[in-house]
Amino acid sequence: MVGRSIVAGFRSIVAGRSIVAGFNKVILIGNLTKNPELRYTPSGTPVTNFGLAVNRRYRQADDLKEEVCYIDIVVFGKQAEHCGQYLSKGNGVIVDGRLQQRRWETEDGQKRSKHEVVAQTVTFLPKRQESGAEPGPPDETSEFEQPS
């Protein structure tokens, strides 16, 4: 029913013809393209980065096509530590978060920018059964406060 509340909220914004506040929500289901990289900010906040591959299958004429979109994910707080501890390349996850653009200038003066998803929650999907597999992640997901 989250979908209904999102649509209802959007309708009320549009009906009032005043789109003052934006809406930035991303939900992705995919597989990690590499092992998560856990680090800590100077203030001690855990931060994990990983790549996510999201597949899309569609039919074009009589052919079944597939395209892959690669997205960088950033996770903060306790959940970043959980991602660093329990996830690895190939694991499936559901990421719920917001789109963010970072901008910076290189040492030689070139302007750069990058879009990434800042995860609010990461839900671990069940691993494929393999012999000798390690125990899976906790069954629960957690939301956390992100640094300002």
How far, in Å, CA of 20 to CA of 31, rounded? 35
Q: pTM value?
A: 0.73
How far, in Å, CA of 29 to CA of 55, rounded? 9
Residue 60: its H or E element: strand 46-60
The alpha carbon of residue 4 and the mean position of all alpha carbons in its chain are separated, in whole angstroms, by 22
Residue-wise pLDDT tens digits, 108-144? 999 999 999 999 999 999 977 654 555 555 544 444 4
pLDDT of residue 21: 78
Residue-wise pLDDT tens digits, 1-51? 555 665 665 565 555 566 567 899 999 999 999 999 999 999 999 999 999
3-state secondary structure at position 55:
strand
Which residue's structure tokens are 């914004």?
Answer: 13
How far, in Å, CA of 131 to CA of 97, rounded? 33
Q: Is the Cβ–Cβ distance between 87 and 36 less than 8 Å? A: yes
The two tokens of residue 27 are 């939900």
Amino acid identity at 107? E
pLDDT of residue 22: 86
pLDDT of residue 127: 79
**Nearest by Cα to 93 from 83, 103, 104:** 83
pLDDT of residue 134: 56
